[in-house]
Amino acid sequence: MNPFQYDVAQIREKARLIRRRVIQLNAGSPAGGHTGADLSETDILATLYFRLLDVAPERLADPQRDIYIQSKGHGVGGLYCCLAEAGYFPPEWLDTYQHFDSHLPGHPVRQKTPGIELNTGALGHGLPVATGIALAAQRDGSPRRVYVLTGDGELGEGSNWESALTAAKYRLDNLTVIVDHNRLQLAGPTAEILPLEPLAEKWRAFGFHVVECDGNDVAQLVETLEALRDHRGQPQVLIANTVKGKGVSFIEGKPEWHHRVPKGDEIAAALEELDHGH
């Protein structure tokens, strides 16, 4: 059982606080960060950690816990801010993001950070491992669910589609893939670099149950993800349509913020928007 089980309004407030932390985290990093990705995934992470996931800081060794894998490892800043809000480590650690010998390196490392389940960063690795974990859980009769967050640009990696074939073959209905479909990647629009459409039809052809929602709308995320828990006989994919940089007007939808951090007056302007809307 999730230790919080927050309602939609509470999750929205957590998402706002996580976004504030994202701005401060990236602004203080000596090695940059991925502000756009951190902000686009925030509502997904808040919904999972404060409503859905059957895991808690004191249960990280529980063999029956749910597993969350951040396959888009460059978005780890958003995950760190969520984990800090959820009590997995002291919020003060956020001040050390990407500093020498920090508990919070620039990509997820499970040996460094409580709550990280898999070392990721080389894209296309999260879903293969998640598929293996889900298959093991199925064979053990475990109640655990496995969630994996991918980027849409990441779906250009063929290992994702090999894993999808395997997940469908074994009818891994304990596996949920969430695509952070913000339509931007490092060098520009995903549709120009390596088009994905028709994305939903592709996943269906690979044997997945496919749903879509607004990935920045907590109410839709709660409704959609809770319904997916009851789906049987197939792995599932949620195509979460998001805005890269969501929550800060001058970051939203801007490719240059893939690997840029706020500086100077941008920091105060971003925090002001997150406190009062835009």
Q: What is the pLDDT of residue 191?
A: 93
Mean pLDDT over the full length of the chain? 97
Tell whether the model's pLDDT for residue 227 goes beyond 80.
Answer: yes
Tell whether the model's pLDDT for residue 82 goes beyond 80.
Answer: yes
What average pLDDT score do residues 179-200 get? 94
> Could you tell me where the beta strands, DSSP code E, fall in the chain?
67-70, 146-151, 175-181, 184-185, 188-189, 209-214, 236-241
Q: Give me 218's structure tokens.
A: 């907590």
CB atoms within 10 A of CB 108: 26
- CA proximity to 79, closest of 249, 89, 242, 2: 89
- Using the Cα atoms of residue 225, residue 229, residue 232 and residue 235 in order, give the sign of their dihedral: positive
Tell whether the model's pLDDT for residue 50 goes beyond 90.
Answer: yes
What average pLDDT score do residues 164-191 get? 96
Band of pLDDT at residue 140, cut at 50, 70 and 90 = very high
CB atoms within 10 A of CB 95: 14
For the chain, give the percent of residues with pLDDT over 90.
Answer: 97
Q: What is the pLDDT of residue 11?
A: 98
Q: What does the domain layout of the chain look like in residue ranges? A: 8-276
Residue range 194-213, pLDDT digits in tens? 999 999 999 999 999 999 99
Tell me the pairing of strands 188-189 and 184-185.
antiparallel
The structure's pTM equals: 0.98
CATH number given to 8-276: 3.40.50.970
**Residues 98 and 29 sit within 8 Å (Cβ to Cβ):** yes
**Residues 150 and 160 sit within 8 Å (Cβ to Cβ):** yes
29-33, 43-47, 48-52: least confidently modelled range: 29-33
How is residue 153 annotated by DSSP?
G
Q: What is the pLDDT of residue 278?
A: 62
Q: What is the pLDDT of residue 19?
A: 98
- Contacts of residue 60, Cβ cutoff 8 Å, sequence gap at least 6: 114, 115
Tell whether the model's pLDDT for residue 110 goes beyond 70.
Answer: yes
Q: Give me 238's structure tokens.
A: 């949620």
Q: What is the pLDDT of residue 277?
A: 74
What average pLDDT score do residues 255-264 get? 93
The C-alpha atoms of residue 137 and residue 269 are separated, in whole angstroms, by: 46
For the chain, give the percent of residues with pLDDT over 70.
Answer: 100
Tell whether the model's pLDDT for residue 111 goes beyond 90.
Answer: yes
**Greatest distance between any 2 Cα atoms in the chain:** 54
Band of pLDDT at residue 186, cut at 50, 70 and 90 = confident
Tell whether the model's pLDDT for residue 55 goes beyond 70.
Answer: yes
Residue range 233-245, pLDDT digits in tens? 999 999 999 999 9
